Every structure is written in C-alpha cells, then in structure tokens.
A = this chain, B = another copy of it.
Amino acid sequence: MVPASRPRPDALKAALAELRARFGARLAEGEAIRVQHGNQLSEVPNEPPDAVLFPETTAEVSVAVGICAKHRVPIIPFGVGSSFEGHVNAPFGGLSIDTSRMKRIVAVHVGDLDCVVEAGVTRTELNRNLRDSGLFFPIDPGADASLGGMVATRASGTNAVRYGTMKDNVLALTVVLPDGSITRTGTRARKSSAGYDLTRLIVGSEGTLAVITEITLRLAGIPEEISGGVCPFPSIEAACEAVITTIQAGIPVARIELMDELHVHACNVYSKLSLPETPLLFLEFHGSAAGVAEQSTRFNEIAAESGGGPFTWATKPEERTRLWQARHNAYWASRALRPTAKGISTDVCVPISRLAVCVAETKSDIAASGLVAPIVGHVGDGNFHVMPLIDFEDRAEVERGYAFVDRLVKRALAHGGTSTGEHGIGQSNRKYMRLEFDDAALGLMHAVKRAIDPNNIMNPGKLLPDV
C-alpha cells in the first residue's frame, strides 16, 4: 500500500480550487473551522484538515471524493466529532467531509421496522422523528453522535446488551468508494446470504474504505412498558457478580450499567443527584407489563444474593430521563472531578465470566498507581471504561497514565477480551492492534485496505498499524 502522506502542495491547491469552484462557500478553509474538525474531545492532540466541505447529497460526496482521488488528497469523514480516539484528525492534512447537512430521513418503513437515513442524522434526531411511529432506534452510545459516525466506529452503548451493536442494526449502506463511485451494500431484507457481507465490511471501517452517506437501519418497537432504576452494591465485585448471574440467567435486561463509587460521586456533583456513593448498577427493563415485572423481580432476587439492594425505582419517565441523562453526562462529570486534567479514554471488553476479576484487578491497579480513574461500563456486554484523569503538564503522570492503560488492555486481552468494545481504533488504539491480532489477520486487513483504497487516501493513519 502507498504509505500515507500529505498531498503535494500543488495537488492540494488544485483540488481545493476545483472544490471551491464546485461548492463555493460550502468549502470552508478558515482556521477556526479546521481546528473544530480535528479531534477536540479527548486528550489526542488536535490535527486539523486543510479544508472542510459540507456536502448535501450522496452525489455531492461522490464529486468531492472524485476530485480528491484525482489529486490524491486525503479524505476524513466527519459526523459530529464525538469520537474519543482521534478518528476525525487529519495527520496528513486533506479534506474533512462534514455530513451535518445530510439530515434527510429518506424513508420510514413502519411495517418493516426499518428506516433509511442520511449519514448526518443524529440518533436523537432520528428518535424525535420516529416519535409517533411506535418505533425507536435503540443504539445509544451516550453522545448524540451522527448515525454515519456510529456505523463507521461500530458503536453501541447502553442498550447493546438487549438490542445489539451497529453491526446488528444496519441492514444496508449507501457509500462512496475511494474512486468516487457510489454503491449500495445490501437490500432491506432482514437476512441475506448473497455474496460477501459488504455491509459488515464497512461497519467499523472508520472511514478508511468508503464514505458512508445513507444507512438502512433496523428499528425496534417502543416497548409497552419500560421500568428501571438504580441498585447499590457493597463492592464492585458484588455488582459484577450480579451482572454475570443476570446475563447467565437469560434475563433480557435492556440496560445494565455499572458505576464505581468515584463515578457516582462525580455524577452527584455534576448532575446534582443524591445517589448513594457506592458501586451502583443502573438498570432498565423493556417488555410487556407482566414481562417487565417478572424481569425486575428476578433481578432483585439476584441482587440480594450478591448483597445488593434495595433497588430504587424510577417509575416516572422524567425520573428515568434524569438518571440516564446523568449516566450520559458521565464523561463530563468525570472530567469535572479534576478540571485541570484531561481524561484518557479506554474501552476494554471481556467475556462476561471474567468481568468481576478484570474489574477488581483494574481497581487494584488504579490504587497502586495512585491515579484518579473512575469506572463506568456497559457491563452486560463485559465492556467497561476506566478514565484516568491526568495532568498533561506533568510528564511523569502522563507516563504513569499511559502505562496503566497498556496494562489494562493487556489484562483484557489476557482474559480473552478486546482492546475496544465500541470506540474503535482511530489513532490512539492503533498500537494495540498488534497485541490483539496476529500477523496473518493484520495482513488480511491490510490486503483489504490496499485492494479497496490503493492510494491510501481514505482517512489515512487510522485503524491499521503501520506495515
């Protein structure tokens, strides 16, 4: 594969001139907007693109990609910039393709429980649009991410334990390939055995193979009954044990989220709550009235066996919203624990039977390292986030932080897990790819990348480790 590189200055100039001629003011070149389109959310250093384009249709994306391809200018797809891992950075410059003007809900097929949306629609925008249909889109990564970005990173979040991840909820995609051609990866059929699974090849490809412009999504029926609340536990191991038993018992919880006591404290302060400052599970049950009652009774029995409880119900929708809002603000609440620090995001995921031991080992490591590092997780999937809050002015502390993250990832892999459950690789997790995959698997990935994007213009410097 051609090594990633900055475009030649004359080629960049020519490409920008063509783009300007075609798109006028929708090509933005000012510094502020460029910086805004590099990574801003996490500790990964900002690397702005050379310009930002705001296309409005798949056809316009195709034209833009064609121009970039001709001049070998890197392309970085951009949703809302809520990635933690540097996905939107432009280490080799190039054109950021911002999909925020691609907001059409193309079709909602209520009878088929699916819809077709443009990539710039965010998940809450879609759900607002669906409100009167009786359906909803269940995948909820917390941030109000664009659906294109969620496809690109194989996102999941709080509801994945019941509804799956983006991998399970995308039926088909319209994409623009690196030569500017447009294609569709599948049909609206619920299942298909026709050919290679191009849909799943693009889901999670982080903009390195194609620009996603339109998405056919599965939807779910809004449950007849939703109930949920919060359950305290005497220790984080006890909370994890309750999660493991719940999953093993086949109770179809819709959400089962862990917060350690430090994280609860942060949420209490940030979201003005008065939750008990012990390890907590946030739960939600979806189903018929009888089904939800049965699920919650069974969960209460399991929690009690682990010494947890009592379960506090949030029966009114507004109470539930407040709780989940607090959960969704977890990132900002954590950051506020140490406002001068930056968080290093982490995202390991282990088989559920290893969750309690992996979290306990991690807790000990945090204590031994003297780090401030709250834990929160989608524990029904075995996925948890530890965020060491690091003073980036203090080089020794930065080293300590990254060394902790290295140990965390190696620990998760040793337990049969993965370095990233839902964030993706981006820039910051590339170094772990060699730990997670052997040479043959990485060779396969490189072969696929090379075959589809031989000039390496699609989001270069992301996902794959250097050869």
Which A residues contact B (CB, under 8 angstroms)?
109-114, 153-156, 160, 164-165, 167-168, 177, 181-198, 200-201, 203-205, 220-221, 223, 244, 247-250, 288, 290-291, 294, 347, 349-353, 381-383, 413, 416-425, 429, 432-433, 436-438, 440-441, 443-445, 447-452, 463-464
Q: Is B294's CB under 8 angstroms from A197's CB?
A: no
* A183 lies within 8 A of B436 (CB): no
Q: A111-B352, A177-B440, A187-B436 are in contact. Are A194 and B420 (CB under 8 A)?
A: yes
Beyond A111-B244, A351-B109, A416-B187, whether A429 also contacts B194 by CB under 8 A is yes
Q: Roughly how many angstroms separate A185 CA and B111 CA in the complex, as a whole number?
A: 36
Most interface-central of A156, A191, A223, A440 (chain B CB within 10 A): A191
Q: Which residues of B contact A185 (CB under 8 A)?
A: 441
20 additional contacts, CB 8 Å, given A448-B448, A448-B452? A111-B248, A113-B247, A114-B351, A155-B193, A167-B200, A182-B440, A187-B436, A188-B351, A189-B383, A190-B352, A193-B204, A193-B420, A194-B424, A194-B437, A196-B448, A196-B463, A220-B250, A221-B250, A223-B250, A290-B291
A445–B196 CB distance below 8 A = yes
The 3 closest A-B pairs by CB, nearest first: A111-B353, A451-B451, A200-B200
Q: Among the listed B154, B184, B192, which residue makes an inter-chain contact with A349, where contact means beta carbons less than 8 Å apart? A: B192
Chain B residues with Cβ below 8 Å from A288 are 294
- Chain B residue nearest to A293 (CB atoms) is B290
A248 touching B191, Cβ below 8 Å: no
Contact between B440 and A192 (Cβ–Cβ < 8 Å)?
Answer: no
For residue A149, give the distance in angstroms from its CB to the closest CB of chain B: 12
A187 surroundings in chain B (CB, below 8 A): 413, 416-418, 436
Given A113-B248, A221-B250, A353-B112, is A194 in contact with B444 using a C-beta cutoff of 8 Å?
A: no
* In the complex, chain B residues whose CB is within 8 Å of the CB of A186: 418
Chain B residue contacts of A168, Cβ below 8 A: 164, 168
Q: A113 contacts which chain B residues (CB < 8 A)?
A: 247-248, 352
A-B contact pairs, 18 of them (CB 8 A): A111-B351, A153-B193, A154-B192, A154-B193, A160-B191, A183-B440, A183-B441, A184-B437, A184-B438, A186-B418, A190-B352, A190-B382, A192-B421, A193-B420, A195-B464, A196-B445, A197-B200, A288-B294
Q: How far is the CA of A255 from the CA of B452 in the complex (A)?
A: 39
* A183-B441, A352-B190 known; A425 vs B197 contact (CB < 8 Å): no
How close is A447's CB to chain B, nearest CB, in angstroms?
4
Q: In the bound complex, how far is the Cα of B208 from the Cα of A197, in angstroms?
A: 13
The docked-state distance in angstroms from the alpha carbon of A418 to that of B185 is: 12
Interface-centre pick from A183, A347, A350 (highest chain B CB count, 10 A): A183
Write the chain B residue with the least CB distance to A378.
Answer: B191
Contact of A294 among B155, B291, B432 (CB under 8 A): B291
User: Which of chain B's residues has its CB closest to A433's CB?
Assistant: B195
Bound Cα distance from A196 to B201, whole angstroms: 6
Contact status A195-B381, CB under 8 Å: no
> Quick one: which of B198, B422, B440, B452 contacts A193, CB cutoff 8 A?
B422
Interface centre among A111, A203, A247, A249 (most CB of B within 10 A): A111
Min distance, Cβ A197 to any Cβ of chain B, angstroms: 5
B444 and A177 form a contact (CB under 8 A)? yes
Q: How far is the CA of A418 from the CA of B194 in the complex (A)?
A: 7
B184 touches A441 (CB 8 A): yes
Q: Which of B114, B156, B195, B204 contacts A196 (CB 8 A)?
A: B204
Among residues of B, the one whose C-beta sits closest to the C-beta of A453 is B447
Most B CB contacts (10 A, CB to CB) among A155, A382, A450 go to A382
Q: Complex Cα distance A437/B347, Å? A: 36
Q: Are B351 and A183 in contact (CB under 8 A)?
A: no
